[in-house]
Amino acid sequence: MPARREDELERLLRGVPFFRDLTSLDAARLVGALEETRFPAGSVIAEEGAAGDALYLIADGAVDISVRSPDGELSLRRVAAPGHFGELGMLLSRRTASSRAATDVVLWRLPRRRFEQLVRDRPSVGLTVAAALADELDRRSREHVGAPEPGPGAKPMTLEREPPRVSWRRRLLTTAICVAIPIALWEIAPPEGMSATGWRVALLLAAATAGWLLEPIADFAVALLLAAAWAASLGGLAVAGAMAQTGLVFRGALAMLRLFPPTGAGQILALVGGGVLFTPLVPQSAARVATIAPVAAELAQSLGYAPRSRGSAAIAFAGLAGYWFFSSIFLTGLATNSVLVQLLPTDLRLRFGWTGWLGAA
């Protein structure tokens, strides 16, 4: 799927209230699950009372929504592109209304099972859906009786914990405690059997332990201040954060899957090849595997492999091999590789640049 098409579909997806605040990674997962469908004018898309199994995004055309009544079919509204309908089909077992193509329409269908998989992986999405549906119910109820729109609501509910607030007085007190420990005992004679240098190292360790427990300064600030190359460290964190927020690795993995034949062998090669491509770019094996694991699971299902079958095991192992096993092959494939290089003697260290490490591996 071209990148431009993916961006258009993501905009359509974010038009649904409970998908508006999805992370780029979660949005990319849902975009990858969309199925294109087309209906000529006048055709029935879904019948009232039928199984609710999907949400529809309208890319082109218009759809009429109606319900049955004792007096016949009652029209509720017409939804034109860009729009959506069938959101209750993601939550209820049956359709609450019928939908019919008013014109020739191009739809993108999001299967309910893919949405449920996202909710299982991201429980906060379920809370967002509940809040959005409650807001939509309130809005439609007000429209029905002619009541005015409510004012700005309270802060949305979230599963994220608020960061603890620490007063400056407490920070000053804990800092003073950490500094006072070595200062007060620095000139005291060391215990019998311990040298003066050992005693002072022990005092510094005691002060550091107090600092770890009391946290007078945030740990991330200490890490950046003590980094030998803080600019490089900050740049690395920025790149990693950007990859996590944009879903770059996930999107790249999907692109690799589309380049290879849609067969078991072709997708195994795609998973291994994607791992070779992204391992040097993301020096966190756990993050890479966590990203590719849901892709491999959904891929095995789409290929028709039963759970715990040889086919699904082959797909899972290909994802693991591609996105984990090459960590030690590339210098930038694992953060500890750089630590190991620094432990080598100077003459050997110069030999192990990126290409030198790759050649030796």
Higher pLDDT, 195 or 251: 195
Model confidence over 61-81: pLDDT tens digits?
999 999 988 888 888 889 998
Residue 111 pLDDT > 70: yes
How far is Cα 251 from Cα 144, in angstroms, rounded to an integer? 43
Own/partner long-range contacts of 149-158 (Cβ < 8 Å, ≥24 apart): 156/128, 156/131, 157/127, 157/131, 158/124, 158/127
Residue 189 pLDDT > 70: yes
Say whether pTM exceeds 0.75: no
Q: Which pLDDT score, from 0 to 100, does residue 65 have?
A: 92
* Residue pair 63/45 in contact by the 8 Å Cβ criterion: yes
DSSP state of 19: G
Confidence bin at 230 (pLDDT 50/70/90) = low
Own/partner long-range contacts of 165-168 (Cβ < 8 Å, ≥24 apart): 166/215
How remote is the C-alpha of 36 from its chain's centroid? 24
* Range of lowest pLDDT (161-165, 201-205, 318-322): 161-165
Q: Is 351 helix (H, G, I), strand (E, B) or coil?
A: coil
What does the mean pLDDT of the chain come to? Answer: 81
Higher pLDDT, 246 or 303: 303
Mode of pairing for the β-strands spanning 98-101 and 62-69? antiparallel
Confidence bin at 108 (pLDDT 50/70/90) = very high
Q: Which pLDDT score, from 0 to 100, does residue 307 have?
A: 81
Identify whether 190 is preceded by a cis peptide bond (ω within 30 of 0). no
Q: Is 138 helix (H, G, I), strand (E, B) or coil?
A: helix
Q: Region 339-349: what's the mean pLDDT? A: 79
The Cβ of residue 37 has, within 10 Å, a number of other Cβ atoms equal to: 13
Residue with tokens 């003590």: 226
- State the Cα angle at 221 between 220 and 225, rounded to 5°: 120
Q: Which pLDDT score, from 0 to 100, does residue 336 have?
A: 78
How far is Cα 297 from Cα 120, in angstroms, rounded to an integer? 14
Q: Which pLDDT score, from 0 to 100, does residue 152 have?
A: 57
Q: Region 128-153: what's the mean pLDDT? A: 72
How far is Cα 304 from Cα 231, in angstroms, rounded to an integer? 48
Give the H/E segment covering residue 119.
helix 112-121
- Which residue, 59, 54, 8, is CA-closest to 31? 8
> Any bridge partners for residue 57, and if so which?
84, 108
Confidence bin at 160 (pLDDT 50/70/90) = low
Q: Kindly list the distances between the CA atom of residue 287 and the CA atoms of 77, 82, 105, in Å, as whole numbers in the listed order.
A: 45, 35, 40
How far is Cα 62 from Cα 230, in angstroms, rounded to an integer? 54
Higher pLDDT, 75 or 162: 75
How far is Cα 80 from Cα 59, in angstroms, rounded to an integer? 9
Model confidence over 231-254: pLDDT tens digits?
555 665 566 666 656 667 777 777
Residue 99 pLDDT > 60: yes
Model confidence over 3-57: pLDDT tens digits?
577 778 888 888 887 788 777 767 777 887 888 999 999 999 999 888 888 899 9
Higher pLDDT, 358 or 347: 358
Q: Which of 144-153, 219-228, 242-251, 290-299 has the highest mean pLDDT?
A: 290-299
